[in-house]
Amino acid sequence: MAQVAIAGAAGRMGRALMAAAQGRSDLAITVALEAPAHPALSQDAGILAGFGPLGLPLVDDLAAQLQRFAVLIEFTRPEPTLAHLALCRQHGKAMVIGTTGLDAAQRATVAAAARDIPIVLSPNMSVGVNLTLKLLEMAARVLGDTVDIEIIEAHHRHKVDAPSGTALRMGEVIASTLGRDLKTCAVYGREGQTGARDRRTIGFETIRAGDIVGDHTVLFAGEGERLEITHRATSRENFAQGALRAAAWLAGRPPGLYDMADVLGL
């Protein structure tokens, strides 16, 4: 049974992970981590997650918990993620990283650490989203340069990065399939006299409103027809279940940089 630590355990995803882990036979949550000075420190993680006491208080020092976990699940911000990554790399702990908003240099740091420890890095742990990525690859391969491609995503008002990591990953999959570089072909919103659309661009539109968990639609629009591939999340449980599945899969793996396609055998 894999011993798992959860970073950001008092947050929305942290609470969902705590709840989803209950009753599993392949892993156990043994560390619930939060930021220093967090108001919930020392409170029981199970009570915070809404299902009853676990005898697992929230702590703020991961280094003091190294003997208590084998895999760290990280859904926080880039800065604490990289700090925890350095600690896990030094001490041979595996990581599941769902943190979004990592820039190119930070992603390179994760890739370098994966030479020493096993890491699953994915902007979206949902099984459905990762199946959607395969469908997008198929659609892009078949439709090629005959369509205009737009990615529309919507999330809750508290999300701090845009476009979402999932939307960007969708763009990367499509661009790679079409032999394009997303860095040069992405268009993030439009305003004013933009001129006719360049078919080789990939457009992104972002919505932030209310309590939307996560909606993603990719539009392949041609002459006379269009194809829309949509994934909608109605709760965070699907992300939590995917992350826990990744943590159980990762335990005992050799060092390397993996994604959810590896976990799911896609």
Q: Does pTM surpass 0.85?
A: no
Sheet of strand 2-7: strand arrangement? 58-59, 27-33, 2-7, 71-74, 94-97, 118-121, 256-258
Within the chain, all domains assigned CATH 3.30.360.10 are found at: 127-233
Q: Known catalytic residues? A: 155, 159
pLDDT at 48: 86
What is the second-level CATH architecture of the domain 127-233? 2-Layer Sandwich (3.30)
Nearest one of 75, 95, 59 to 14, comparing CA atoms:
75
What average pLDDT does the chain have?
94
Compute the distance between CA of residue 232 and CA of residue 3 in angstroms, rounded to an integer. 31
The more confident residue out of 261 and 143 is: 143
Which pLDDT band, with edges at 50, 70 and 90, does 243 fall under? Answer: very high
Which residue type occupies 226?
R
The predicted model gives 221-237 an average pLDDT of 94
Within the chain, all domains assigned CATH 3.40.50.720 are found at: 2-121+236-264
* Structure token pair of residue 140: 């892009």
CA angle 60, 241, 34 (to 5 degrees): 10
pLDDT tens-digit profile of 186-197? 999 899 999 999
Highest CATH level, class, for 2-121+236-264? alpha beta
pLDDT at 236: 83
The predicted model gives 216-240 an average pLDDT of 94
**How many C-beta atoms lie closer than 10 Å to residue 137's C-beta?**
16
Report yes or no: 129 and 265 within 8 Å, Cβ to Cβ.
no
Question: Which of the residue ranges 21-25, 32-36, 146-150 would you say has the lowest mean pLDDT?
Answer: 21-25
The predicted model gives 219-238 an average pLDDT of 94
pLDDT at 49: 86
Q: Is the predicted pLDDT of residue 30 greater than 90, yes or no?
A: yes
CA–CA distance from 249 to each of 27, 138, 147, 243, 263 (Å)?
10, 26, 38, 10, 7
pLDDT at 92: 97
What DSSP state is assigned to residue 255? S
